[in-house]
Amino acid sequence: MKKWKNRWDSPRTETSAIPVSLKECKNVIYNIFAKPKYAKLNITKRAYIKLMCYINLIGDYEISGFGRIQDGTITDFKILKQEVKPAYVECDEDAVLEFIKSIPREELGEWELDWHSHVDMGTTPSGTDWDNYKNMSALRGYKQFPAMIVNKKQSFTLINYISESNHENIDLYITGEDITNSEIDEIYNFVKNDIKSNCTKTISIQSKPAYPIYNNYWNRSNTADEFDDCKCKSCGVPLLNSHELTTGLCEDCELAVAETIGGN
Amino acid sequence: MVDFREINESLENSEERDAEDLVKVELITLSGLQEYEVEEGMTIKEFKEKHNLNEVKIVNEDGDVMRNNDIIECDSQFFISTPKKNG
């Protein structure tokens, strides 16, 4: 008969290692009592229409970008180069870098709104979204920022992201200025061209009798594939020498993999 | 007897030496410019660990990705980036 152990039966262990990184711990502590930056935000009609153009003109795909906030009012939205899918969207490191370089330094702090669409689905953040907010927080020096998810039904979620465990809702109000039909047309045409220039989607390679391996294979394009061969499989940096090209990993990632295997 | 003049001189000299060994690193981030003072000769890996930037990519002004073993030898300006993924 199995005997239930009481808590005194368990072996006692002793350790001298501190199980958290001091830096991570400090960031958590800084944000415990941090007050939300915004209780409410306004959005101009021009900005709202631009946002609706992005999420409707992209069709059945998600789309993502950053928004500009000036004196408590969302005044503009921009998209980055991105790969769009029905339930996922990704802007790679180069696209984010290109965005940072394209904005005048003194304006960068204003482009603090992190936004994306959920097509026709609810606007609750997914696991991927929470991971993204955590990474974006690191990219912003752990400063809090507003994050917005919208869908085609014009439902939205807008929060102050302070930390993984601390986020507050923000109320949103549309400002009352007039906007003409020609201004709306101008925004519509701008967004249409912007999407054409910056958004790519996966395409199906047609099966060819000579290359049966490609049957039903989904990919961006063969040219992109060849280019990817020269980049690290793990982090995407260009590979520098024959050893890296052979392993497909940069020196740093190869070392990290070896450490992981060694640690296990 | 304690020679305070000698102690003061050695302290001043050590401060001067420390100041000489520090270099300025400017990081251009999504939030704008962030400035750090780091020891000359620090590697990118040490810099990332010290400032909790392990998850981000550091790129120099020429667009080259900085590797972990690269050394910060002088005043430098870098960009930092990470993918934006939503689902």
The ipTM estimated for the assembled molecules is 0.75
Boundaries of every domain in chain A: 26-201, 232-264
In A, minimum Cα distance to B50 occurs at: A23
CB pairs under 8 A between A and B: 120
Instruction: Examine residue B13 and state whether it is found in any structural domain, yes or no.
Output: no
Nearest residue, CB atoms, A141 vs list B31, B67, B79: B31
Split at pLDDT 50, 70, 90, the class of A238 is: confident
Please give the residue range of the domain that contains residue B43: 23-81
CATH (domain of B33): 3.10.20.90
CB contact under 8 A, A138 and B82: yes
Task: For residue A23, give both structure tokens.
Answer: 């830096």
Split at pLDDT 50, 70, 90, the class of A227 is: very low
> pLDDT tens digit string along A245-254?
778 888 888 8
Instruction: Examine residue B6 and state whether it is found in any structural domain, yes or no.
Output: no
CB contact under 8 A, A250 and B84: no
Q: What does the mean pLDDT of chain A come to?
A: 83
Give the pLDDT confidence score for residue B9 in this predicted structure.
Answer: 64
Q: Which of A25-39, A92-106, A173-187, B54-68 has the lowest mean pLDDT?
A: A25-39
Above 80 in pLDDT, residue A98?
yes
**Chain B residues closer than 8 Å to A253 by CB:** none
**Chain A residues closer than 8 Å to B70 by CB:** none
Q: Collapse the DSSP code of B59 into the 3-class scheme (helix H, G, I; strand E, B; otherwise coil) and give the result.
A: strand
pTM of the model: 0.72
- Residue B6 contacts residue B14 (beta carbons within 8 Å): no
Arithmetic mean of pLDDT, A79-107:
94
Instruction: Examine residue B37 and state whether it is found in any structural domain, yes or no.
Output: yes
Give the pLDDT confidence score for residue A235 in this predicted structure.
Answer: 80
Split at pLDDT 50, 70, 90, the class of A83 is: very high
Arithmetic mean of pLDDT, B39-64:
89
Instruction: Please compute, for residue B66, the number of CA atoms within 13 A of its CA located in the half-sphere on the CB side.
Output: 28
Arithmetic mean of pLDDT, A164-193:
95
Instruction: Examine residue B33 and state whether it is found in any structural domain, yes or no.
Output: yes
User: What is the least distance, in Å, from the CA of B25 to any CA of chain A?
Assistant: 14
Give the pLDDT confidence score for residue B46 in this predicted structure.
Answer: 92
Q: Name the architecture of domain A26-201.
A: 3-Layer(aba) Sandwich (3.40)
Q: Which of A203, A134, A198, A190 has the alpha carbon at shortest distance from A166?
A: A134
> pLDDT tens digit string along A9-55?
555 566 666 555 555 566 667 778 888 999 999 999 999 999 999 99
Percent of chain A exceeding pLDDT 90 equals 56
Q: How far is CA A225 from the centre of its chain?
A: 23
- Which of residues A195 and A7 earns the better pLDDT score? A195
- Residue A223 contacts residue A239 (beta carbons within 8 Å): no
Instruction: Examine residue B87 and state whether it is found in any structural domain, yes or no.
Output: no
CB contact under 8 A, B84 and A114: yes
CB contact under 8 A, A88 and B86: yes
Number of domains in chain B: 1
Q: Which of A119, A114, A66 has the alpha carbon at shortest distance from A88?
A: A119
Instruction: Examine residue B68 and state whether it is found in any structural domain, yes or no.
Output: yes
Split at pLDDT 50, 70, 90, the class of A213 is: very low
- Which of residues B36 and A216 earns the better pLDDT score? B36
Give the pLDDT confidence score for residue A167 in this predicted structure.
Answer: 92
Please spell the DSSP secondary structure of B13-50, one letter per residue. HHHHHHHHHEEEEEEEETTEEEEEEEETTEEHHHHHHH
User: What is the least distance, in Å, from the CA of A205 to any CA of chain B?
Assistant: 25
Chain B contact for A234 (CB, 8 A cutoff): no
